[in-house]
């Protein structure tokens, strides 16, 4: 190794290490391996996060959109039971269900029978009522006229249109088709392999959209197919190539929440460009609903906000004062040690315990209202307190003692030292800790379940004592709902929650950067 032939070992009188080259290589190998493992760990962590985000966004983005149907509504004052009244109150009070039903029936006049009619009326959401009312209230002049009004489709229609109900294959044969009526059946004749040897008996449904009508295929034999009319075509004229198409629905009709007739109706509306996937504004305006298309997160957002306001108002001053006292004023003895250990333990207590405590103390003992943000906030404040105290103490500890000495040496009292120097310097840290604690509280579900904040809240809570729910509980409720449409809503709500959390954390980072001072 060395020119003098003296290795460090030899100089110290140790056995000459001739293998030092090998040692160096081994050391480098070990370091490389360690670095690789670290990168691997980081990579898998990022991978999992990306997977989570992709899944949630993939599931959830459609939850922000909702299919709407343009209805031609004839606003007949008689059907609206308005008589001559046109005042806002009467307009707001009356039911618009009849005119919507009428609109649907006039759209599909050949729909007979109660079952089919009910199925028809279920194409549009119960919310359609509100949409029509809003249109009328916005402009009462339209009463008596026929208006095209966009109303929400039901969740089933929405789910179907988003492709979540059945796999769909659609093609337009490049040959002309001839349509002929045979009693209540139709015969479609097309050259070549337009029908691709379809087997309608295999459980799939095959609907042919032709001449403005929809035919469900029953039997296919070469270029001739027989079918049932679901929506009557305009005429039996020969249809040129490309102007007709066949849709295949893989899921059997009995397994679907929409039968072939309903699909046929939708197909007809679609053919007339009267179905659109629109951004669902009401998702951010409404509260819980049994109907997924009308369910929104606003009441949960407001509930979360009110709860967090209470949490912050209670835990921040108490937490900061407790931390200040413990760190700056309390004598260091066994009692403060015990308190410190217990605060640290408290931070590790499962949150549901706080919920039980809230149930026992706030609800049973104090008789505070159930499901109210004020109680939720108090419970979450209990849960957040240790976090805030620990973070605040850490921030206070991080203020160099030299600053305290400088202030004390200048003749500042202990209180002046703390309020003039220590607290302002620790504030960014305290605020960061508080925001992290708030974010934690925002994402908390379990303790709130215990105090009844799991309630089904349609109304937007107006105050701290109103019944309310919070975002994570809303997510929990939706995740539990059977309707397929709630799956997307759940993910959408998770995205909203994540957005709030990221926002809060960004705020924490910003505060730290903004007010961080070097000393």
Partner 1 sequence: MLDTLKATTLPSTEVTGLPTPMLSAHDVCVSYSGKQALFDVSLDIPQNEVTALIGPSGCGKSTFLRCINRMNDVIDGCVTSGTILMDGRNILEPSEDVVQLRQKVGMVFQKPNPFPKSIFENIAYGPRIHGLANDKTELDGIVEVSLERAGLWKEVKDRLNQPGTGLSGGQQQRLCIARAIAVSPDVVLMDEPCSALDPIATARIEELIDELREKFTIVIVTHSMQQAARVSTQTAFFHMGYVVEVGATEKIFTNPEDPRTNGYITGRFG
Q: Is 406 in the site for partner 1 (CB under 8 A)?
A: yes
Q: Which is nearer to partner 1, 114 or 518 (CB)?
A: 518
CB of 391 to partner 1, least distance (A): 21
Side-chain-facing half-sphere of 505: CA atoms under 13 Å: 11
Q: Is 409 in the site for partner 1 (CB under 8 A)?
A: yes
Q: Which is nearer to partner 1, 48 or 398 (CB)?
A: 398
Q: Is 413 in the site for partner 1 (CB under 8 A)?
A: yes
CB of 290 to partner 1, least distance (A): 58
Q: Is 198 in the site for partner 1 (CB under 8 A)?
A: no
Place of tokens 């200048």: 410
Q: Is 518 in the site for partner 1 (CB under 8 A)?
A: yes
Stretch that binds partner 1, among 34-42, 108-116, 395-403, 478-486 (CB under 8 A): 395-403
- Is the separation of the CB atoms in 218 and 228 below 8 Å? yes
Q: Is 338 in the site for partner 1 (CB under 8 A)?
A: no
Looking at residue 207, the DSSP 8-state letter turns out to be: E
Q: Contacting partner 1 (CB under 8 A), which of 200, 421, 467, 476? A: 421
3-state secondary structure of 3: coil
In angstroms, the CA 355 to CA 314 distance is 16
Q: Which is nearer to partner 1, 279 or 519 (CB)?
A: 519
Stretch that binds partner 1, among 30-38, 263-271, 402-410, 448-456 (CB under 8 A): 402-410
Q: Contacting partner 1 (CB under 8 A), which of 10, 241, 353, 408? A: 408
Q: Which is nearer to partner 1, 23 or 413 (CB)?
A: 413
Q: Is 514 in the site for partner 1 (CB under 8 A)?
A: no
In angstroms, the CA 195 to CA 226 distance is 11
Give the chain's end-to-end CA distance (angstroms, integer): 47
| CB neighbour class for 517 (10 Å; exposed up to 12, middle 13-18, buried from 19) | exposed
Q: Is 419 in the site for partner 1 (CB under 8 A)?
A: no
- Count of residues near partner 1 by CB under 8 A: 22
Q: Contacting partner 1 (CB under 8 A), which of 332, 334, 513, 514? A: 332
- Is the separation of the CB atoms in 98 and 77 below 8 Å? no
Residues 6+ apart with CB under 8 A from 58: 491
Q: Which is nearer to partner 1, 386 or 428 (CB)?
A: 428
CB of 340 to partner 1, least distance (A): 15
- Is the separation of the CB atoms in 226 and 170 below 8 Å? no
CB of 331 to partner 1, least distance (A): 6
Q: Which is nearer to partner 1, 16 or 405 (CB)?
A: 405
- Is the separation of the CB atoms in 151 and 293 below 8 Å? no
DSSP output for 247-282: EEE-S-GGGSSS-HHHHHHHHHHHHTT-EEEEE-GG
Q: Is 513 in the site for partner 1 (CB under 8 A)?
A: no
Q: Which is nearer to partner 1, 35 or 414 (CB)?
A: 414
CB of 15 to partner 1, least distance (A): 35
Q: Which is nearer to partner 1, 291 or 408 (CB)?
A: 408
CB of 412 to partner 1, least distance (A): 6
CB of 460 to partner 1, least distance (A): 45
Q: Which is nearer to partner 1, 74 or 404 (CB)?
A: 404
Q: Is 403 in the site for partner 1 (CB under 8 A)?
A: yes
Q: Which is nearer to partner 1, 274 or 404 (CB)?
A: 404
Q: Which is nearer to partner 1, 10 or 408 (CB)?
A: 408
Structure tokens at 510: 């910003």
CB of 479 to partner 1, least distance (A): 49
Q: Is 402 in the site for partner 1 (CB under 8 A)?
A: yes
Residues 6+ apart with CB under 8 A from 235: 211
Q: Is 425 in the site for partner 1 (CB under 8 A)?
A: yes
Q: Is 410 in the site for partner 1 (CB under 8 A)?
A: yes
Q: Contacting partner 1 (CB under 8 A), which of 83, 109, 411, 482? A: 411
- Is the separation of the CB atoms in 161 and 153 below 8 Å? yes
Angle, helices 423-442 vs 484-515, to 10°: value is 180
In angstroms, the CA 466 to CA 12 distance is 80
Q: Contacting partner 1 (CB under 8 A), which of 220, 275, 407, 431? A: 407
Torsion of CA 41, 47, 48, 51, to 10 degrees: 180
| CA dist 509 → 73, 419, 430 (Å) | 53, 24, 12
Residues 6+ apart with CB under 8 A from 233: 179, 186, 210, 211, 212, 213, 215
Helix intervals (H) in 399-483 = 401-409, 414-416, 423-442, 446-450, 471-480
Structure tokens at 208: 């042919």
Phi, psi of 226, deg, nearest 5: -110, 145
Angle CA(516)–CA(508)–CA(315) in degrees, nearest 5?
A: 105
Q: Is 420 in the site for partner 1 (CB under 8 A)?
A: yes
Q: Is 519 in the site for partner 1 (CB under 8 A)?
A: yes
Q: Which is nearer to partner 1, 45 or 338 (CB)?
A: 338
Q: Is 423 in the site for partner 1 (CB under 8 A)?
A: no
Q: Which is nearer to partner 1, 31 or 516 (CB)?
A: 516
- Is the separation of the CB atoms in 343 and 390 below 8 Å? yes
Using CB under 8 A, list all residues that contact partner 1.
331-332, 400, 402-413, 416, 420-421, 425, 517-519
């Amino acid at each position: 190794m060395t020119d003098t032939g003296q290795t460090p070992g030899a100089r110290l009188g140790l056995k000459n290490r001739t293998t030092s080259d090998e040692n160096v290589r081994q050391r480098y190998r070990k370091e490389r391996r360690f670095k690789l493992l670290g990168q691997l760990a980081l990579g898998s962590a990022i991978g999992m996060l990306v997977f989570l985000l992709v899944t949630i966004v993939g599931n959830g983005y459609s939850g922000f959109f909702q299919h709407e149907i343009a209805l031609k509504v004839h606003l007949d004052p008689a059907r609206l039971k308005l008589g001559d009244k046109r005042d806002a109150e009467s307009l707001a009070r009356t039911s618009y269900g009849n005119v919507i039903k009428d609109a649907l029936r006039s759209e599909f006049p050949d729909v007979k029978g109660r079952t089919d009619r009910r199925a028809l009326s279920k194409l549009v959401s119960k919310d359609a009522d509100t949409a029509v009312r809003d249109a009328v209230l916005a402009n009462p002049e339209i009463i008596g006229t026929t208006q095209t009004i966009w109303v929400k489709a039901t969740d089933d229609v929405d789910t179907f249109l988003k492709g979540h109900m059945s796999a769909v294959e659609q093609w337009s044969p490049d040959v002309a088709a001839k349509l002929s009526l045979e009693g209540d059946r139709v015969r479609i004749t097309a050259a070549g392999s337009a029908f691709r040897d379809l087997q309608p008996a295999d459980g799939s449904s095959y609907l042919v959209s032709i001449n403005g009508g929809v035919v469900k295929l029953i039997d296919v034999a070469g270029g001739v197919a027989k079918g049932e009319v679901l929506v009557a075509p305009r005429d039996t004229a020969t249809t040129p190539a490309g102007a007709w198409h066949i849709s295949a629905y893989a899921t059997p009709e009995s397994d679907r929440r929409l039968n072939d007739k309903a699909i046929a109706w939708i197909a007809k509306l679609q053919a007339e460009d009267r179905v659109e996937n629109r951004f669902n504004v009401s998702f951010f305006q409404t509260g819980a609903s049994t109907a997924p298309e009308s369910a929104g997160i606003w009441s949960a957002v407001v509930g979360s906000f009110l709860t967090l306001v209470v949490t912050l108002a209670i835990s921040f001053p108490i937490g900061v004062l407790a931390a200040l006292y413990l760190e700056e004023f309390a004598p260091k003895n066994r009692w403060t040690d015990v308190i410190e250990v217990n605060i640290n333990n408290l931070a590790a207590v499962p949150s549901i315990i706080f919920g039980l405590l809230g149930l026992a103390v706030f609800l049973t003992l104090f008789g505070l209202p159930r499901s109210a943000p004020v109680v939720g906030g108090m419970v979450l404040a209990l849960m957040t307190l240790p976090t805030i105290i620990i973070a605040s103490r850490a921030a206070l500890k991080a203020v160099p003692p030299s600053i305290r000495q400088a202030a004390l040496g200048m003749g500042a009292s202990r209180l002046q030292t703390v309020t003039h120097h220590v607290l302002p310097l620790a504030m960014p840290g305290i605020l960061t800790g508080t925001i992290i604690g708030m974010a934690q509280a925002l994402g908390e579900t379990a303790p709130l379940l215990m105090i009844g904040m799991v309630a089904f809240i349609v109304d937007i809570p107006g105050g701290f004592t109103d019944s309310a729910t919070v975002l994570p509980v809303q997510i929990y409720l939706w995740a539990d709902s059977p309707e397929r449409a709630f799956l997307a809503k759940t993910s959408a709500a998770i995205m909203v929650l994540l957005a709030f959390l990221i926002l809060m954390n960004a705020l924490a980072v910003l505060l730290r950067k903004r007010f961080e001072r070097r000393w």
